Chain A
Amino acid sequence: MNEQVNHKEVIKRDPLSGNGRNKTLLRFTTAGSVDDGKSTLIGRLLYDSKSIFEDQMEHIIEAGKRRGKQEVDLSLLTDGLKAEREQGITIDVAYRYFATPKRKFIIADTPGHIQYTRNMVTGASTADLAVILVDARNGVLEQTIRHSYIARLLDIRHIIFCVNKMDLVDYSEDVFNKVKAGLDKLIAKLDIDNPSIIPISAKNGDNVVDRSENMSWYTGKPFLSQLETVEIIKDKDLENQRFPVQYIIRPQSDKYHDYRGYAGRIAGGNFKPGDEIVVLPSMLKSKIKSIDILDKSFEESKIGDSVTITLDDDIDISRGDMIVGAGNMPNIGQEVKMIICWFNERPLRERSKYVIRHTTSEARCIIQSIDSKLNVNTLEEDYEDKSIHMNDVARISVKTTRSLYYDDYKVNNTTGSVVIIDEATNETVAAGMIQAE
């Protein structure tokens, strides 16, 4: 938090010149500990990409002065709550937005401290990419392992390791290579497919937006151009058709008297009129008649689209049912294994009952067994200690009151994820990634 920057040195570039062109959306999450310079890095991205308005800038200059700071503290840009500003820490996930001519970015900024593992899991659940900060002076620490493991657990396919504070080690290539060697081991151990390792100084802007003159030995891309150009391999299942039914549309108006549409967001594959489908749980077969959205019908719709589907046959379908392609059925069952991250102060207990939410369906469940506890700092699995407290990660088996139609989380993040809710308090107490056979 004590990273400061002279904002006059910041080189500006205009992100809006590509306004109106086709832009893709990249969602990423950032993890790092309190003093890794994460807020400074984000502040710099926002500032250098001109996503900070002049009045917001004036505001933090004023706020900094009130706290007796001489230089502009970019980290002040990202502290949202009064308590955070007072304590100089980040408590909760905050979302930030910026755009360059190539992409629009959504940052889920999560606190990296161990007691906030749950926030990192939350931020990672919607991210395509994770940025993990490593202090050049310290190299790989327990928290680096924890952050990388969680990113992998949530099936994030790209990780950018920013080796920060290079200015404090004289921009030394040797120091960087030592840190990199440690990261390479971790990358191999966690089987991370598309890693990049970038030496930066968030405080001074080296290799953040522009290539650093202080580290001419580094030949890779600066951080922002890596973010702009990385090919997003979303873990989206393009083959197996999955359509969880969200809501039934029955206008019952004169014009649309017999219209019966199934509203939802496509969770897997592409759907076209004429496709043969099966409805779960009834197992009844039909064909897709039309795919509608606001008085238009579409020839095709793809994963991620929110649409309304009509079928050739009148079938009794309600929310929580799933329309799937005939011939590529998901797993169907009441006994499910998963890895969970526990979020609540009250510990998880075997044999307790909870509410489970999966896609658009809800059931009750009982925790049949806690199978093991994972140490996210050492990656060891403990089969003896089964006390699961807030921020713990564990393998569990649950039994549900009705069948779930699910895929393995790594195959389909939507049909493979659940949240667990405490029936008494209605709090969301866990996130679960289903492990199918």
Chain B
Amino acid sequence: MGDKIKINSEHIKELENEAIYVMREVAAQFENPVLLFSGGKDSIVLVHLARKAFWPARIPFRLLHIDTGHNFEETLKFRDELARELDVELLVHYVQDSIDKGRVVEEKGVNASRNKLQTVTLLDAIEEIKADVAIGGGRRDEEKARAKERFFSHRDEFGQWDPKNQRPELWNIFNGRKLMGEHFRVFPISNWTELDVWQYIRYENIKLPGLYYTHKRQVFKRDGLWLAWAPFMELKPTEEVITTDVRCRTIGDITCTGVTLSKADNLEDIIAEIAATRSAERGSRHDDKRSEAAMEERKREGYF
């Protein structure tokens, strides 16, 4: 497959150069960085970029996974293997612990999701491990509040984002200065689109969890979206679980990760599928459908 496709794309190269530059700025400007790793393709690409940025040295970041407990098993296996291979420390913080401690209350009803609860676990983790920066795979093309994000995004001592009062970001000079207790979120692939990410994965031959490729899965349809079914999920009376060929377009908490009916089993077909698709990537994220400003509100509170 690799021989057939010859990607010689200047724009992908430029995006890579930019992302590597940002990674190195993080290492230079902060003392205790963590890389937010979910096992999804964007965070896998981040890890790959970090390897490139610091080779032959080890990645100077610890990986942090906020585990909702509602994962695809394969993602966890992939995560553990990657951390071992890179010889970096993997920190896992559990939403379940936040629930047990009474820091958050589990949502109820058919649309219950732990996705929003992650914010509290994430902010607690950042405080506990004294991270002064968390690198994330957020992209500006994902969602309209994200379109306003900086590469270096300041968070106050409560972990909050103040989108109306952000630091201007000029050229490639990034201002990561902060006061005690504040932290930064850094988004090295801000300028990438979903298609750029997939082209880069093909270009660099990056290994992904099999969930991104076609596989048989039990799914059901809700509000026009196909969702993966798991035994703990409540169904509405009209909803029916069927088994069919699907692949994940994004991977996150099972309760809000949509799947696409697809038989694409290689990167070339996936790219063709994404290029032809007429719905947004986050359109398959059930959590964004909650309101027009759902993402902005979560981000203000300190979400990824």
A residues within 8 Å of B by Cβ? 16, 19-25, 53-56, 59, 63, 79-83, 85, 91-97, 99, 103-104, 106, 118-119, 121-122, 125-126, 246-247, 249-253, 255-256, 259, 261, 263-265, 292-295, 304-306, 308, 319, 343, 355, 357-360, 413-414, 417-419, 421, 426-428, 431
Contacts and interface: CB of A to CB of B under 8 A. Distances in A.
A81 B296 contact: yes
Contact of A417 (B17, B166, B171): B171
Max chain B CB contacts within 10 Å: which of A21, A97, A251?
Answer: A97
Interface of B: 5, 7-11, 14-18, 20-21, 24-25, 27-28, 51-58, 140-141, 144-145, 147-148, 163-164, 166-173, 175, 177-179, 190-191, 193, 195-196, 199, 271-272, 275-280, 283, 292-293, 296
B53 A53 contact: no
A295 B55 contact: yes
17 contacts: A19-B272, A20-B7, A79-B144, A82-B296, A95-B147, A97-B140, A99-B195, A106-B191, A118-B168, A247-B54, A253-B56, A255-B56, A359-B173, A360-B28, A426-B175, A426-B177, A431-B168
A357 B175 CA distance: 8
A93 B170 CA distance: 11
Nearest to B51: A294
A380 B277 CA distance: 52
B283 A55 contact: yes
A265 to B, nearest CB: 5
A384 B138 CA distance: 47
Given A81-B163, A96-B147, A306 B24 contact: yes
Contacts of B54: 247, 249, 263
A95 B272 CA distance: 25
Nearest to B149: A95
Contact of A24 (B10, B166, B175): B10
A259 B56 CA distance: 8
Contacts of B14: 25, 304
Contacts of B52: 293-294
Contacts of B148: 80-81, 92-94
B275 A19 contact: yes
A23 B12 CA distance: 8
A99 to B, nearest CB: 7
A250 B56 CA distance: 8
A264 B57 CA distance: 15
B20 A306 contact: yes
Nearest to B154: A426
A81 B164 contact: yes
B177 A251 contact: no
Given A19-B271, A413-B171, A426-B177, A250 B277 contact: no
Max chain B CB contacts within 10 Å: which of A53, A343, A417?
Answer: A53
B140 A91 contact: no
Given A21-B9, A265-B21, A426-B175, 7 more contacts: A25-B10, A55-B279, A56-B280, A81-B145, A119-B168, A294-B52, A428-B170
Contacts of A259: 56
Contacts of B145: 80-81
B179 A426 contact: yes
Given A20-B199, A82-B296, A247-B28, A265 B17 contact: yes
B275 A16 contact: yes
